[in-house]
Amino acid sequence: MAGEQKTYYTIDPEGRLKCCKCGVPLVKANAVFGYLDNAFPVELPVCPVCGFVYVPEELAMGKVLSVEKVLEDK
Amino acid sequence: MDFTERSTRVYRTKQLFTKEELAAREGLCVHEEPPFCSAACPLKLDVREFVRLCAAGDFTAARAMLERITPFARVLAAGCSAPCAAACRLNEVGEGIDIAALERAAMRYGAPKSGRGMLRFRKKKRAAVLGAELFTLSAAAEFAQKSYPTEFYVPQADAADLVRACAPFLSEEDCAAEAARLKAMDLKVHYGAQITRELYESCRQSADILCLSRGAAKALEPAAEPDEVTLLCEALGALVRPAGEEDVLTALTDARRAGVSADRIAQGMDPATLRGEEGAVTSRLYTDLSGVAPSRRKTAGHALPTAEEAQSEAARCVQCSCTECLKACPYLRHYAKSPRLLTREIYNNAGIIMGDHMMNKALNSCALCGQCSVVCPNGFDMAEICRRARENMVDTGKMSLAVHEFALYDQIFSNTEALLARSQPGFERSEWVFFPGCQAGAVAPEAVERAYSDLCGRLPGGVGIFLGCCGAVAKWSGRTELWEETRALLANELAKLGDPVVIAACPTCAGVLKEAGIPKVRGLWEVLLEIGLPDTAPQEGARVTLHDACGARGDHALQQAVRKILHGLGCEVTESELSGDKTPCCGYGGLVSCANPKMAKEFAQSIAQSAQGLPVVSYCMACRDRIAREGVKSLHLLELLYGADAGSPPGLSEKRRNRLKLKERLLKEKWGEDLAKRPLGFGLTLTEEARALMEERMILDTDVIAVMQHYHDTGEAVEDLDGGLLVTRMRLGNVTFWAKFTEDAQGYTVHRVYSHRMTVETR
């Protein structure tokens, strides 16, 4: 569809997520999802200090789940 | 035992069946066999579809079907001896469908085909047909339709004369119509021709395909007879109809045979090769007529019924087909495929090296209950196929853990943390051991405890207890390694108890234990019948629907014992339509509830719907649990006997807790042992929303506790400033669990939970 966003997840607005342990806002960073020996590079909110990667619920129960299901039938 | 997740980069396959094994299985399913009427038709008319079209009032489409199978459909309609009507199964319960009358009605009320049809190019090989009879008339038309330039020599003066001579039974109107049809064909007819030896010789020289009327052939070579299959008369080098009366259907069928021979001759082949199936066949189709009321023909003996009469006559057709398994099984109904087709697709699924395995979900959605093997007239066993397919997937590393992981760890939980195998207090060895099954302890622990106390008090020689899993989960999931491990564990624990007689409360456990090689296994109900019902058993009874457990399929002694017990309790038992050996699964069997929860729900719903508004009594705790979830009052026989109604069905975490609590209680009360429990270092509250999500997403409270413990220890979390919630996570085995929570002086309140199987790392 025209105009459809291709990114899986956008941090919008930035700075609304904070790492409790380090007390700093999460920033957009490169991460890799892996499943059954497949890897998918994505951009996710990550703590710049401790590296905590946040996977939001909508993403986990949406796109991630559907990709898992597809891979399971490969 | 731990499980490693598979990789999609391993390309191993293993054939599921040999060709012969596959053919033997497929051959059992008669779903695709032709109906009896179609099988009886030598012209291979799809009579069932023809009658359906008539019933729908679509005589034009019905007429088109007749015109497709023969060049002269009016001749067929007027003179068809209708062997299909004789083969009609309705003859067994009343009068069969008057298909001959429907043929005439279709020709009368259906509109003729419009349009000119496809452009055909004439073939190079030429055909000549000599003499006038229905066979030659029809054969000439067949050759013309196959685009052979055809010359047809007849003594008659014109087309109408010719048609009348060949089919004298036709009405004037039909005769004129067929004459017009003949004229419209790409066929050169030589009227007024004398069929002489000279003509025969010249045609033999000029034509590649020669066809003679029987009269002409006899005049030329009185002793010559054609081959019965190819119709080729070697002596004359021509196609001739065999001896016998020229019945309309036979003549038209022979003409079609001649057409096939013509093709072979034109290609320079032996006309006997590759002819395919010709003429009438026998059908192996099964049709259940038990629900069919006898009815009489609506055509009132009219040769040509009115359109309304024809339509209501056709509407009597029961559209013979074998759907016995589909009628009974929600799984097969869901996939709407005959077992034959499903088997082929599952077989192909096992052979896929790379790409999507489209049948994974289907083969994991079968309850493996074996109902199909009972309702199928030929005993088709889908369970065996799906189970072997699962084992094949596990063997070749194609089975993802996600499908059955929850159940597998549940079995391991049952046989480790929740395992209890002890002799009765005061006994070194046990004569007996009570094996209630994992679901009984999970759903109705109170009833299990009372039953055990009752058995201890009334059976001599000591009654041990075995709280654990029989290994059904390992078997159903195709994990042979775990199955072998479970067998060893069972044998080992039972040996420690002195190899007692196992009293299994669950019919599935009983079956699986026997399969595991446990020598002495008896059903609880038979034992209770022998020693008498407990004194506490209520006598007032009630009206109930009995749901037989699929694990008790084929075990008539068990089925009868349950009925006797219910009778002893004063219950008025209503049998559901599919009871005894035909009973359906509740959706727990085969781990459907794990692999395909929606499908599992369909299983339970079908049982709840057949309960006729009465409470459902079952003797398998999984059935009791799943039926209760469909909003029907559901009771296990143990609950009835010991007056211990377990109430509404427990959640996934509660099921585990119940098993642990039962073990703890028994240990404390019977053996005076206390299990030391380590208290949590923090307060934890789960909101209603969180609990609902945990059920839906199959997350246990032990998982949530582990996540919160991790947060408690490390302080790792993200604060969402918009929602005001903290979010933390922990990877447990193959799953990352997330909890959204708030923190106050009392501890943590978890509001939402979710999980994913993917790993995530920073780059």
Concatenating the DSSP letter of every residue in B313-369 gives HHTT-------HHHHH-HHHHHHT--HHHHHHHHHHHHH--SS--TTHHHHTS----
User: Do residues B45 and B53 lie in contact, with contact meaning Cβ atoms separated by under 8 Å?
Assistant: no
| Nearest-by-Cβ selection for A20 from B400, B718, B740 | B718
CA-nearest of B478, B445, B474 to B621 is B445
Contact A55 B755 (CB under 8 A): no
pLDDT at A13: 58
Contact A35 B757 (CB under 8 A): yes
CA distances from B256 to A14, B120, B146, B420 (A): 79, 19, 11, 76
Bigger pLDDT: B230 vs B721: B230
HSE-up (13 A, CA, CB side) for residue B415: 24
Cβ–Cβ contacts within 10 Å for residue B401, how many? 20
Calculate mean pLDDT across residues B508-530: 96
CB contacts of B7 in chain A (<8 Å) are 36-37
Is the minimum CB–CB distance between B137 and chain A shorter than 8 Å?
no
Confidence label for A12 from pLDDT (cuts 50, 70 and 90): low
Prediction ipTM score:
0.92
CATH code, domain carrying A36: 3.10.20
Q: Return the residue of A nearest to B693 by Cα.
A: A61
CA-nearest of B182, B161, B174 to B107 is B174
Contact A55 B729 (CB under 8 A): yes
Q: Return the residue of A nearest to B10 by Cα.
A: A37
pLDDT at B113: 84
| Residue A70, domain extent | 1-74
Contact A36 B360 (CB under 8 A): no
Whether A3 shows a pLDDT value over 60: the answer reads no
Give how far B442 is from chain A: nearest CA, Å.
29
Whether B649 shows a pLDDT value over 60: the answer reads yes
CB contacts of A30 in chain B (<8 Å) are 762-763
- Domains of chain B by residue range: 19-30+323-399, 127-266, 403-664, 684-756
Whether B186 shows a pLDDT value over 50: the answer reads yes
Give how far A12 is from chain B: nearest CA, Å.
11
CB contacts of A34 in chain B (<8 Å) are 758-761
Contact B758 A21 (CB under 8 A): no
What would the two tokens of residue B192 be?
């007024």
pLDDT at B722: 82
CA distances from B471 to B182, B363, B490 (A): 74, 20, 9
Radius of gyration from C-alpha coordinates of chain A? 14
What would the two tokens of residue B315 be?
């509407």
Separation between Cα atoms, residue B444 and residue B433, nearest integer Å: 19
| Nearest-by-Cβ selection for B356 from A30, A68, A73 | A73
Any residues with CB less than 8 A from the CB of A3 and at least 6 apart, and which? Answer: none
Cβ–Cβ contacts within 10 Å for residue A22, how many? 16
| Nearest-by-Cβ selection for B727 from A37, A54, A68 | A54
Confidence label for A14 from pLDDT (cuts 50, 70 and 90): low
How many residue pairs bridge chain A and chain B with CB atoms within 8 Å of each other?
Answer: 111
Contact A37 B7 (CB under 8 A): yes
Whether B272 shows a pLDDT value over 60: the answer reads yes
Separation between Cα atoms, residue B707 and residue B701, nearest integer Å: 10
Give how far B231 is from chain A: nearest CA, Å.
55
CB contacts of A57 in chain B (<8 Å) are 738, 740, 752, 754
User: With pLDDT > 90 as the criterion, what percentage of chain B qualifies?
Assistant: 92
Q: Return the residue of B nearest to A12 by Cα.
A: B722
Any residues with CB less than 8 A from the CB of A66 and at least 6 apart, and which? Answer: none
Contact B8 A32 (CB under 8 A): no
CB contacts of B360 in chain A (<8 Å) are 72-73
Is the minimum CB–CB distance between B760 and chain A shorter than 8 Å?
yes
What confidence tens digit (pLDDT) does each residue in B82-102 have?
A: 999 999 999 999 999 999 999
Contact B763 A30 (CB under 8 A): yes
Answer CATH for B127-266 from 1.20.1340.10, 3.30.379.10, 3.10.180.10, 3.50.50.60? 3.50.50.60
What confidence tens digit (pLDDT) does each residue in B569-617 have?
A: 999 999 988 999 999 999 999 999 999 999 999 999 999 999 988 999 9
Contact A29 B762 (CB under 8 A): yes
What confidence tens digit (pLDDT) does each residue in A21-67 have?
A: 999 999 999 999 999 999 999 999 999 999 999 999 999 999 999 99
CA-nearest of B625, B632, B673 to B447 is B625
pLDDT at B357: 94
Query: Is there a cis peptide before residue A13, judged by omega within 30 degrees of 0?
Result: yes
What are the respective helix, strand and coil percentages of chain A, to the nearest 5?
A: 20, 30, 45
Contact B8 A29 (CB under 8 A): no
Separation between Cα atoms, residue B545 and residue B615, nearest integer Å: 6
Beta-sheet pairing, B238-240 with B209-212: parallel
Helices and strands in chain B: count of H runs, count of E runs: 35, 21
Considering only B240-244, B626-630, B654-658, which range has the smallest mean pLDDT?
B240-244
Chain A residues contacting B via beta carbons under 8 Å = 16-21, 26, 29-38, 41, 44-47, 50-55, 57, 60-61, 64-65, 67-68, 70-74
pLDDT at B576: 85
Is the minimum CB–CB distance between B8 and chain A shorter than 8 Å?
yes
CA distances from B212 to A70, B130, B154, B612 (A): 65, 5, 11, 70
User: Do residues B285 and B37 lie in contact, with contact meaning Cβ atoms separated by under 8 Å?
Assistant: no
Touching A: B residues 327-366, CB under 8 Å = 354-358, 360-361
CATH class of B684-756: alpha beta
> CA B331, B335, B340 angle in degrees (round to 5)?
95
Number of domains present in the structure of chain A: 1
Touching A: B residues 361-400, CB under 8 Å = 361, 400
Beta-sheet pairing, B501-504 with B521-523: parallel
Considering only A54-58, B538-542, B583-587, B691-695, which range has the smallest mean pLDDT?
B538-542
Angle (deg, nearest 10), helices B524-531 and B556-568: 50
CA distances from B153 to B159, B175, B219, B280 (A): 12, 19, 16, 31
Laid out side by side, the sheet with B634-636 consists of B572-575, B543-547, B616-618, B634-636
Calculate mean pLDDT across residues B524-529: 96
CA-nearest of B484, B474, B496 to B390 is B474
CB contacts of B740 in chain A (<8 Å) are 57
Is the minimum CB–CB distance between B751 and chain A shorter than 8 Å?
no
H-helix or E-strand spanning residue B657? helix B652-671
Contacts 24+ apart (CB under 8 A), B654-660: B655/B439, B655/B442, B655/B443, B656/B410, B656/B413, B656/B418, B656/B442, B656/B700, B656/B702, B657/B701, B658/B441, B658/B442, B658/B443, B658/B445, B659/B413, B659/B414, B659/B418, B659/B438, B659/B441, B659/B442, B659/B445, B659/B467, B660/B417, B660/B418
Which of the residues A33, A55, A69 would you substitute to probe the B interface, choosing the one with the greatest number of B C-beta atoms within 10 Å?
Answer: A55
B158 φ/ψ sector (left φ>0, alpha ψ -120 to 50, else beta): beta
Calculate mean pLDDT across residues B115-121: 79
Calculate mean pLDDT across residues B163-170: 95
Confidence label for A4 from pLDDT (cuts 50, 70 and 90): very low
| Chain mean pLDDT for chain B | 95
Give how far A21 is from chain B: nearest CA, Å.
6
pLDDT at A1: 40
What would the two tokens of residue B358 be?
């489209």
Q: Reduced to 3 states, what is the DSSP secondary structure of residue B306?
A: coil
What would the two tokens of residue B95 be?
């009068």
**Phi, psi (rounded to 5 degrees) for B75:** -65, -45
What confidence tens digit (pLDDT) does each residue in B273-330 have?
A: 989 999 999 999 999 999 899 999 998 777 899 999 999 999 999 999 999 999 999 9
Is the minimum CB–CB distance between B724 and chain A shorter than 8 Å?
no
